[in-house]
Structure 1
Amino acid sequence: MLVPGRRVVLLGGGFSMDEDGLLDDWLLTHARNPRPRVCFVPTASGDAPGYVDRFLSAFRPRDCTPAVLPLFRRELDDDALRAFLLAQDVVYVGGGNTANMLAVWRVHGVDRLLREACDRGTLLCGISAGANCWADAAHTDSFGPLASLRDGLGLLPGSVCPHYDSEPGRRTSYRQAVAGGTLPGGWALEDGVGALFTDGRLEQAVTRRPGARLYRVEPGTPGEPGGTDEHPVPCRPLGTVA
C-alpha cells in the first residue's frame, strides 16, 4: 500500500505503561501493511533487556512481525542495517535518555536511515524520548534537570514535551522555554494520548484515558501568565478505562 507523506506518531503511553493496549492497537491500524513489520529501537534505555522483553511480550500476540534493533551490541554491517530498517513498516522507539540516543544514532548512521525509511513510507513513533526525537527540538530531562534540546531529527516541525501532566515541573518549565524562545512552539502530550502527524500536520489525536489531552503551545503575549498560548486539542476516546 502506497502511503504518501512523512508520518510520525507521538505516544503518551503504550506497552511499557498501559495494560489495555489501546494505543498500540490504534498505532498498528496506521501501518501500511495489514501484517506490519514492527521494529523496536531501545537505544534510549541502553538496550535494556527487560524493556525489550516487554515489547516482545506485547507485540508477539498481535497480528504483526516484531523485531528489535540493538545498537550497544550491534550485529549488522552498514548494508544489512540499511536493508533491515527500510524493510520495517513501523519503527517504535522507546523511552530513556533522548540526548544519548541521538548521539548513538548519529555514530551508527541510524538518524539518516530513519529519515530515508520515513520518506519511503515507514511509520515512525515512540514514547517519551521516542516522541522527542522526531521533532526539531524537545523538552527533556536528559541532562538531569528539565532542559531544552534543539538537536532532534527535524521530521516534525517545532518542539515536543512528553509527560505534560504526570511529571512535576514539566508544564511550567516547557511553557517558560517556549515563552522565552529557548524552544520553538510545539506539542505537549499528557499520558494516555496518541497523535498522528503527516508532513508535520496533525491528522488524528486519540486518548485511552478520559480527560487526557494534547496541547498546542505557542509563544503568547509578553507579561501574560506563562507567556504562552496553550490550546487543547480534542482527542477521540479509544475506549473506557476502569
Structure 2
Amino acid sequence: MTASSPTILATSAGYVPHPRLRFTFGPMMALAVDLASERGLVDGPLARICNIGTASGDDSGFQRDMEEAARDAGYVLHHLSLFSQPNVDDVESYLRSFDVIWVNGGSVVNLLAVWRAHGLPEILRTLWQEGVVLAGISAGSLCWFQGGTTDSYGPELAPVTDALGFLPYGNSVHHDSEDGRRPLVHRLVADGTFAEAHCTDDGTGLVYRGTELAEAVTEKDGASAWRVRRSADGTTVEEQIPTRLLG
C-alpha cells in the first residue's frame, strides 16, 4: 500500500507515565502524528488531534487530562463531545479540520450506539477515505473492526460483532493482560464469527493501509501482536506478528 492509502492505527497503547500529570502521550501517539505528517496532513508545527471520548461518556476530567498530555507533548488537542448533545454544529466539518482522530477506551457497545444515533459511522468512513488518520486505544481500537472481545456488558467478557467494519477482521485488545481475551477470540474464529482476528498486547498497535495490515509496532519491549486464523481441521492457529519497537 502507498502512503496515500486510508490509514488506521488500532492499539492497546498510547499513554505513558508522567511525574506530574496523570499521563502523557507516548511513542504510539507520535506514530499517529507521523502517519498524518507523511501524508502531508499536518499543517504547521503543531499536530491537531481530536479526542472522541464517547466510550467513557465524554468524561470531563479525562478530557482535561488529555489536554494536559497534549500540551506536554506539543500537540493541539480538542474534543468531540456527544453528551448531552454535540458540542459543535457541524460534526463532519469539525472533524475534517484535524490531522488525527483519536478514540479513547471504555464501552465499545455504548460508543457504537451513540455514534449511530449521531451519524458518526458514515462521517468517519468518509474522513478515513479522504485521509484523516483514525486511531485509538481499546474500545477505540475495537470500533474500527468487525468486532471483538469486550467487557461492555459486564465483568465477563463477551463478543461484539456489529462494530463499524472498516477493517474486515476481529480484534482482541489487552490480549496479554486480561485472561479471557485469548480463549474468547479463539472461539470466535473457530466458530466462523470472524475469519481472522488481529490482537494486541498492552503497549502494541497495528497500522493498516486501506484494509491491509502494514505493520505491528510496540512502545513496550517484549510486547507482541498476534494473528488468529482457523486451520483446515477447524482449530485455531495463533501466529506472532513481528513488531517494530518505537523510539
Common fold: TM-score over 0.5: yes
Correspondence for 1:76:
88
In 2, the alpha carbon distance for the partners of 1:148 and 1:12 equals 18
Correspondence for 1:236:
244
Correspondence for 1:201:
212
In 2, the alpha carbon distance for the partners of 1:201 and 1:55 equals 30
Amino acid at match of 1:139: T
Deviation at 1:67, TM superposition (A): 0.7
The answer to whether the 8 Å contact 1:41/1:94 transfers is yes
In 2, the alpha carbon distance for the partners of 1:189 and 1:235 equals 10
Amino acid at match of 1:76: V
Query: Are 2:223 and 1:215 aligned?
Result: no
Written as runs of structure 1 = structure 2, the 5 A alignment for 1:78-157 is 80-144=90-154, 145-157=156-168
In 2, the alpha carbon distance for the partners of 1:75 and 1:29 equals 28
Single out whichever of 12-21 and 63-72 deviates more from structure 2. Answer: 12-21
In 1, the alpha carbon distance for the partners of 2:68 and 2:87 equals 22
In 2, the alpha carbon distance for the partners of 1:229 and 1:178 equals 9
Gaps of 5+ in 1: none
Identity %: 35
Deviation at 1:221, TM superposition (A): 4.2
In 1, the alpha carbon distance for the partners of 2:25 and 2:130 equals 31
Amino acid at match of 2:244: R
In 2, the alpha carbon distance for the partners of 1:205 and 1:180 equals 26
3-state SS of the aligned residue for 1:27? helix
Deviation at 1:197, TM superposition (A): 0.4
Relative distance call for 1:20 and 1:150 in structure 2 (3 A) is closer
Amino acid at match of 1:102: L
Listed one character per residue, the Cα deviations across residues 74-103 of structure 1 (whole Å, up to 9, x for unaligned) are 2323xx212101122110000000011011
TM-score (norm. length: structure 1): 0.89
Correspondence for 1:43:
54
Amino acid at match of 2:225: L
Amino acid at match of 2:102: Y
Deviation at 1:19, TM superposition (A): 5.6
Listed one character per residue, the Cα deviations across residues 42-100 of structure 1 (whole Å, up to 9, x for unaligned) are 000011122212211111233432111110132323xx212101122110000000011
Correspondence for 2:9:
9
Correspondence for 2:192:
181
Listed one character per residue, the Cα deviations across residues 119-143 of structure 1 (whole Å, up to 9, x for unaligned) are 1110001000000000122221111
3-state SS of the aligned residue for 1:172? helix
Deviation at 1:16, TM superposition (A): 6.8
TM-score (norm. length: structure 2): 0.88
The answer to whether the 8 Å contact 1:86/1:116 transfers is no
The answer to whether the 8 Å contact 1:213/1:234 transfers is yes
1:21 to 9, 21, 26: 26
Written as runs of structure 1 = structure 2, the 5 A alignment for 1:163-178 is 163-178=174-189
The answer to whether the 8 Å contact 2:25/2:69 transfers is no
Amino acid at match of 2:143: C
2:42 to 33, 43, 56: 33
Amino acid at match of 1:12: S
The answer to whether the 8 Å contact 2:10/2:207 transfers is yes
- The CA RMSD over aligned residues, in Å, is 1.9
Gaps of 5+ in 2: 18-22
